[in-house]
Amino acid sequence: MARFRIPLLIALGLFISGLALTAAFTDRHYVLLSVVLLLAALLPLFIRLERRPLQSRELVLLAVLSAIAAVSRIPFAALPGVKPVSAVVILSAYVFGAEAGFVIGAVAALVSNIYFGQGPWTPWQMFAWGMTGLTAGWLRRSWLLRRRAGLLVFGFIWGFLFGWIMNIWVLLSLPDAFSWRLVAVTFAASFYFDLAHALSNVFFLAVLAGGWTKVLQRFRKKYGLLQERMEL
């Protein structure tokens, strides 16, 4: 039965994609198509993690960091755009690598929306925070992230990139998604929230980068957690 699992999953994925394409081009349900495409983009990375020979304590570490990132979002719910999640994801990826950063970001979005509410926006948030962690892990040995100023600049940039990714979902949920005027209005309306997110990233990274990073690096070295085999 195991040998038929992958072909069945591929067939099911093609069937769902066909339905989404039909809905998109006949009824203009672009949100459904976008969710299917995002899930298709997220799935290979989760499958890659599933096939890794992870120890139970490594899975616990990923779960704990994801929970910390998710819970950190709740106290700042009253402040639009202020999200410590990004800083936690970036620093976790900086220490444990790209794949761990992606998982922590994606799971944090999913878990935090148990409190904030699930919806078609959840895969977009999973993708946005997952990519935040993924790129931070890719660049963690670069000259940019090895400097405190570069780390802050990276967090500032991702504050806007996160908002722009979410703007795509907003546009696809509107009836005239491909109107340039609507695109301009949507991005202009989100500027304040994106700026707040970017500045909060700078603040939280500046506060957490020293002590938080040292604690995580100590755990990694002492217990041999998520070593190079977790790298993409």
Per-residue pLDDT tens digits for 148-199 = 999 999 999 999 999 998 988 888 777 665 678 888 888 999 999 999 999 9
Residue entry with tokens 């394409």: 21
**3-state class (DSSP) for residue 19:** helix
CB within 8 A of 119, min separation 6: which ones?
113
- Give the Cα separation of 153 and 156 in Å (integer): 5
The mean per-residue pLDDT over the stretch 37-60 comes to 65
Question: At which residue do the structure tokens 């100590």 appear?
Answer: 218
Q: How far apart are CA 156 and CA 147, in angstroms?
A: 14
Contacts of 115 (CB under 8 A, 6+ apart): 73, 74
Tokens of 114: 């148990």
- pLDDT for position 35: 60
pLDDT for the residue 127: 87
Higher pLDDT, 206 or 16: 206
Type of residue numbered 128: A
Cα 167 to Cα 36, 56, 160: the distances in Å are: 17, 38, 10
**Better-scored residue on pLDDT, 200 or 36:** 200
Give the pLDDT confidence of 78-103 residue by residue, as tens digits: 888 888 999 999 999 998 888 889 88
**Alpha helix ranges (H) inside 97-179:** 98-116, 122-138, 148-172
Q: Which segment of 39-43, 87-91, 129-133, 150-154 scores lowest on mean pLDDT?
A: 39-43
Give percent of the chain above pLDDT 70. Answer: 70
Please state, rounded to an integer, the average pLDDT across all residues of the chain. 78
Half-sphere exposure of 160 (CA within 13 A, CB side): 8
Please give the model's pTM, rounded to 2 decimal places.
0.79
Please state, as a whole number, how many other Cβ atoms lie within 10 Å of the Cβ of residue 216: 19
Output the furthest CA–CA distance in the chain (Å, rounded): 57
